[in-house]
C-alpha cells in the first residue's frame, strides 16, 4: 500500500496490553493524549475492539461496562469516555471500530463484487480494512493518532488487529509510528519482590507477531528500581529509559502527572521527532490538589442502581459526580444502593444518611419499584434529587402516582397494560425487531425555562445533551401533571419532547431525559452535576450533618 504524502506528517501511537485485562490501557492512552495536548499538539484517539459485535450497544453492561454515547449517536466502548474526559478530542462513530464492523464491511464489499473475484482473506482484506480506519481518523489536521487495541496480546481474536498495526509501520514512515505496550510487573508479597517474567512473556508474544514495542508502561504497585528496569530492557529489547513505571495511583486523574514524572512525554516526543512547546500541566496539578485536599468539605451521595457490584456499568456517572465535586472543591463519597433492597415495603429511612439521591439511567424492570421508592423519599424529605433518563421516568411515575393520583401510572417499558402509560414509546419508534440502533441516540438541543434550576445551572437558554433511550414522557399527561405541580423546565425546540422536569417547593429536584454524565470532564465539570453537589452540600449543612 502506498503512503499518502499529505498524511506523512501524522504520527501514530499504538497502545497494546499484555498479561491481563483491566490494567488501564484506556487511561494510559487517554493520558498520553493529554500529555501531548499539554505540549500544544492536536491529538485524536481510536479504539479497536476485537469482539464480533458491530458495536457495544447490545452488550450487557455487566459484561462490557457502560455504553458510551458520542455526539453523533454512536454507542461505543467506555474507553471513549476516558478519551473525552482527558483530552479535547471529540469522539465520533469512527473512533471506535470492532471486528464485527470490519468483517461486516468486508463482507458487504465482497457481496458487491468489489474484490473482483479474488479470495477474500484476513490478510490483506481484513487488515486493509482495519488500516483504512486508522488512516481515516488521522485526517483533518491532527498531529498524533493514539490507537488502543482492545484485549490482551495472545488472544486469538486480536491477531488481525495486531497484524494490521504491524503492517502499518511499513505503510507510513517507520519513524512516524510508535508501539507502546502496557504490561504488569506484579509484587509478590511472600518474597517481597517485583517479578518481570509476565512482562518478558508478554513482550515475547508481541515480538512473535512481529511487533517490537518501543516503550513499556509497567503497571506496578512499587516503583521499579534502575536495575529492574535494566533487566526488563535487556530481556524485552527496549531502551532502559523507555521502561516506564506506571504506578498504581489513587485517582485516575493522577496518571498523566505520574507518567510525566517518569519522562514519558519527553521520550515519545523525541522518538517521534515532534516539535512542541513547553509542557503545561498546571490544570492537572490544580485538579489533583483539589482531590487531595478538598477545601469545601465532603458530601455523601446515594446512587440507586441495578449494577451496584460493577462500577464500570456507571463509569461516566461516577466520574461526573467526582467532577461535580471538583467544581465545588469538594470530595464526593458515592454510595451504591441496590434498588431491589428498597422494594416490597422495605423501610427507606436508611437513605437519610445521604445528602443527595441520584437515580441513573437503565433498562428493564428489575429494581424499578425500588427506584421509584427512592424518588418518593427524596421528594417527601426534600433531599436534593437528580434523575437521569430512566431516573426521570421514575421521577415522573412517582409524581403521577403520589401527587396526581394516577395510581396506575407506569412506563410501557415495564407494563404494557398500564391504564396510564405516563412514559411511552416515541410514536415513530418500534421497540420490536432490530435491537441495534433503534433508540433516540446522540446529541439534541433542548430549550430551558428561564426560572428553573436547570437555567440556574447552565446559565444559557439552549443546551445540547446526549440521549440513549426508547421511551419518552407521554404528552397526553402534560397538562394534568403541570396542574398538579410538575414543572417542565426543558423541552425540545419544537416543544414536543419533555427533556427536563423539576419540582417547585423543593430545594433541588431535577430529572432529565438525557445523559449529562457523557459531557462532563474534570477540567469542565458538567453544570448539572456541579449544581447537584452544591445543593447536596447545602442540604448537609442545613441538616447539621
- Active-site positions read 389, 515, 517
Q: Is 470 in the site for ligand GLN (CB under 6 A)?
A: yes
How many Å apart are CA 332 and CA 148, to the nearest integer?
30
Q: Is 390 in the site for ligand GLN (CB under 6 A)?
A: yes
According to CB under 6 A, which one of 217, 389, 394, 396 is a site residue for ligand GLN? 389
Q: With CB under 6 A as the contact rule, which of the stretches 122-130, 144-152, 173-181, 463-471 interacts with ligand GLN?
A: 463-471
Q: Is 469 in the site for ligand GLN (CB under 6 A)?
A: yes
Q: Which is nearer to ligand GLN, 282 or 428 (CB)?
A: 428
Residue with cell 505503510: 171
Residues between 281 and 300 with contacts to ligand GLN, criterion CB under 6 A: none
Q: Please give the grid coordinates belonging to residue 132.
A: 483504512
The torsion region of residue 17 among left (phi > 0), alpha (psi -120 to 50) and beta comes to: beta
Residues between 240 and 279 with contacts to ligand GLN, criterion CB under 6 A: none
Q: Which is nearer to ligand GLN, 55 or 413 (CB)?
A: 413
Q: Is 413 in the site for ligand GLN (CB under 6 A)?
A: yes
According to CB under 6 A, which one of 363, 369, 381, 484 is a site residue for ligand GLN? 363
Q: With CB under 6 A as the contact rule, which of the stretches 2-10, 150-158, 164-172, 361-369 interacts with ligand GLN?
A: 361-369
Q: Is 89 in the site for ligand GLN (CB under 6 A)?
A: no
439-467 b/e with 16+ CB inside 10 Å = b?
bbbbbbebbbbeebbbbebbeeeebebbb
Q: Is 69 in the site for ligand GLN (CB under 6 A)?
A: no
Biggest distance spanned by C-alpha atoms of the chain: 77
Q: Compute the least distance from the CB of residue 194 to ligand GLN, in Å.
A: 43
Q: Is 468 in the site for ligand GLN (CB under 6 A)?
A: yes
- For residue 386, the cross-strand partners are 358, 510
Q: Which is nearer to ligand GLN, 9 or 435 (CB)?
A: 435
Strands 462-469 and 144-149: unpaired
Residues between 91 and 110 with contacts to ligand GLN, criterion CB under 6 A: none
With residue 193 as reference, give the H or E element that holds it: strand 193-194
Q: With CB under 6 A as the contact rule, which of the stretches 15-23, 144-152, 467-475, 494-502 interacts with ligand GLN?
A: 467-475
Q: Which is nearer to ligand GLN, 370 or 522 (CB)?
A: 370
How many Å apart are CA 267 and CA 274, to the nearest integer?
10
Q: Is 414 in the site for ligand GLN (CB under 6 A)?
A: no
Q: Which is nearer to ligand GLN, 265 or 362 (CB)?
A: 362
Nearest residue to ligand GLN by CB is: 361
Q: What's the residue count for the chain?
A: 545
Q: Compute the least distance from the CB of residue 305 to ligand GLN, in Å.
A: 11
Q: Is 442 in the site for ligand GLN (CB under 6 A)?
A: no
How many Å apart are CA 213 and CA 204, to the nearest integer?
10
Q: Is 361 in the site for ligand GLN (CB under 6 A)?
A: yes
Residues 312 and 78: beta-carbon distance below 8 Å:
yes
How many Å apart are CA 323 and CA 529, to the nearest integer?
7
Q: Is 75 in the site for ligand GLN (CB under 6 A)?
A: no
Cβ partners under 8 Å of residue 526, min gap 6 = 320, 323, 324, 516, 517, 519, 520
Q: Which is nearer to ligand GLN, 363 or 488 (CB)?
A: 363
Q: With CB under 6 A as the contact rule, which of the stretches 161-169, 207-215, 355-363, 456-464 interacts with ligand GLN?
A: 355-363
How many Å apart are CA 92 and CA 87, to the nearest integer?
14
Q: Compute the least distance from the CB of residue 409 to ligand GLN, in Å.
A: 16
Cis peptide before 124 (omega within 30 of 0): yes
For CA atoms 412, 417, 421, 426, the dihedral sign is positive
Residue with cell 458491530: 54
Q: Compute the least distance from the CB of residue 390 to ligand GLN, in Å.
A: 3
Size of the site for ligand GLN (CB under 6 A): 10
Residue 441 three-state SS: strand
Residue 525 three-state SS: coil
- 3-state percent helix, strand, coil for the chain, nearest multiple of 5: 40, 20, 35
How many Å apart are CA 472 and CA 365, to the nearest integer?
16
According to CB under 6 A, which one of 161, 354, 471, 539 is a site residue for ligand GLN? 471
Judged on CB neighbours under 10 Å (0-12, 13-18, 19+), 390 is buried
According to CB under 6 A, which one of 150, 348, 362, 370 is a site residue for ligand GLN? 362
Q: Is 181 in the site for ligand GLN (CB under 6 A)?
A: no
Q: Which is nearer to ligand GLN, 253 or 386 (CB)?
A: 386
Q: Which is nearer to ligand GLN, 50 or 367 (CB)?
A: 367
Q: With CB under 6 A as the contact rule, which of the stretches 148-156, 219-227, 446-454, 464-472 interacts with ligand GLN?
A: 464-472
Q: Which is nearer to ligand GLN, 24 or 362 (CB)?
A: 362
How many Å apart are CA 117 and CA 40, to the nearest integer?
48
- For residue 444, the cross-strand partners are 465
Residues that bind ligand GLN (CB under 6 A): 361-363, 389-390, 413, 468-471
Amino acid at each position: 500500500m502506498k503512503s499518502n504524502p499529505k498524511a506523512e506528517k501524522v504520527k501514530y501511537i499504538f497502545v497494546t496490553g499484555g498479561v491481563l485485562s483491566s490494567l488501564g490501557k484506556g487511561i494510559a492512552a487517554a493520558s498520553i493524549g493529554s500529555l501531548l495536548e499539554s505540549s500544544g499538539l492536536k491529538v485524536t484517539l481510536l479504539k479497536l475492539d476485537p469482539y464480533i459485535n458491530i458495536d457495544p450497544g447490545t452488550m450487557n453492561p455487566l459484561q462490557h461496562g457502560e455504553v458510551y454515547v458520542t455526539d453523533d449517536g454512536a454507542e461505543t466502548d467506555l474507553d471513549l469516555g476516558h478519551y473525552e474526559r482527558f483530552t479535547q478530542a471529540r469522539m465520533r462513530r469512527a473512533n471506535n471500530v470492532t471486528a464485527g464492523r470490519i468483517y461486516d464491511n468486508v463482507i458487504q464489499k465482497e457481496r458487491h463484487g468489489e474484490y473482483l473475484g479474488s479470495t477474500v482473506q484476513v490478510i490483506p482484506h481484513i487488515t486493509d480494512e482495519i488500516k483504512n480506519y486508522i488512516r481515516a481518523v488521522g485526517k483533518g489536521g491532527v498531529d498524533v493518532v493514539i490507537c488502543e487495541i482492545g484485549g490482551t496480546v495472545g488472544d486469538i481474536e486480536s491477531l488481525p488487529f495486531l497484524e494490521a498495526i504491524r503492517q502499518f509501520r511499513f505503510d507510513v514512515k517507520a519513524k512516524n509510528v510508535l508501539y507502546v505496550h502496557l504490561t504488569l510487573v506484579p509484587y509478590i508479597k511472600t518474597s517481597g519482590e517485583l517479578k518481570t517474567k509476565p512482562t518478558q512473556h508478554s513482550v515475547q508474544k508481541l515480538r512473535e507477531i512481529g511487533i517490537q514495542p518501543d516503550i513499556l508502561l509497567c503497571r506496578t504497585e512499587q516503583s521499579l528500581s534502575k536495575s529492574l528496569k535494566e533487566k526488563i530492557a535487556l530481556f524485552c529489547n527496549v531502551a532502559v529509559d523507555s521502561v516506564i513505571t506506571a504506578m498504581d495511583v489513587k485517582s485516575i486523574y493522577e496518571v498523566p502527572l505520574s507518567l510525566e514524572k517518569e519522562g514519558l512525554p519527553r521520550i515519545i516526543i523525541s522518538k517521534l521527532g515532534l516539535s512542541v512547546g513547553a509542557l503545561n500541566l498546571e490544570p492537572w496539578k490544580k485538579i489533583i490538589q483539589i482531590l487531595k485536599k478538598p477545601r469545601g468539605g465532603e458530601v455523601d451521595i446515594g446512587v440507586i442502581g441495578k449494577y451496584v457490584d460493577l462500577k464500570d456499568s456507571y463509569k461516566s456517572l461516577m466520574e461526573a459526580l467526582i467532577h461535580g465535586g471538583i467544581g465545588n472543591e469538594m470530595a464526593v463519597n458515592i454510595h451504591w444502593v441496590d434498588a431491589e433492597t428498597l422494594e416490597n415495603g422495605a423501610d427507606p429511612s436508611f437513605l437519610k444518611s445521604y445528602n443527595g439521591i441520584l437515580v441513573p439511567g437503565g433498562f428493564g424492570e428489575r429494581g424499578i419499584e425500588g427506584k421509584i421508592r427512592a424518588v418518593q423519599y427524596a421528594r417527601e424529605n426534600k433531599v436534593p434529587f437528580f434523575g437521569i433518563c430512566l431516573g426521570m421516568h421514575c421521577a415522573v411515575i412517582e409524581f403521577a402516582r403520589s401527587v396526581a393520583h394516577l395510581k396506575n401510572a407506569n412506563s410501557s417499558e415495564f407494563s404494557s397494560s398500564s391504564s396510564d402509560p405516563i412514559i411511552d414509546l416515541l410514536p415513530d419508534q418500534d421497540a420490536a425487531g432490530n435491537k441495534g440502533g433503534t433508540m433516540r441516540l446522540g446529541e439534541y438541543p433542548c430549550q430551558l425555562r428561564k426560572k428553573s434550576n436547570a437555567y440556574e445551572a447552565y446559565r444559557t437558554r439552549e443546551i445540547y445533551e446526549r440521549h440513549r433511550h426508547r421511551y419518552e414522557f407521554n404528552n397526553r399527561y402534560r397538562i394534568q401533571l403541570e396542574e398538579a405541580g410538575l414543572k417542565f423546565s426543558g423541552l425540545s425546540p419544537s416543544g414536543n419532547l419533555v427533556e427536563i422536569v423539576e419540582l417547585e417547593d423543593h430545594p433541588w429536584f431535577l430529572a432529565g431525559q438525557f445523559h449529562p454524565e457523557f459531557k462532563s470532564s474534570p477540567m469542565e465539570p458538567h453544570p448539572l452535576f456541579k449544581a447537584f453537589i452544591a445543593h447536596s452540600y447545602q442540604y448537609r449543612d442545613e441538616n447539621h450533618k
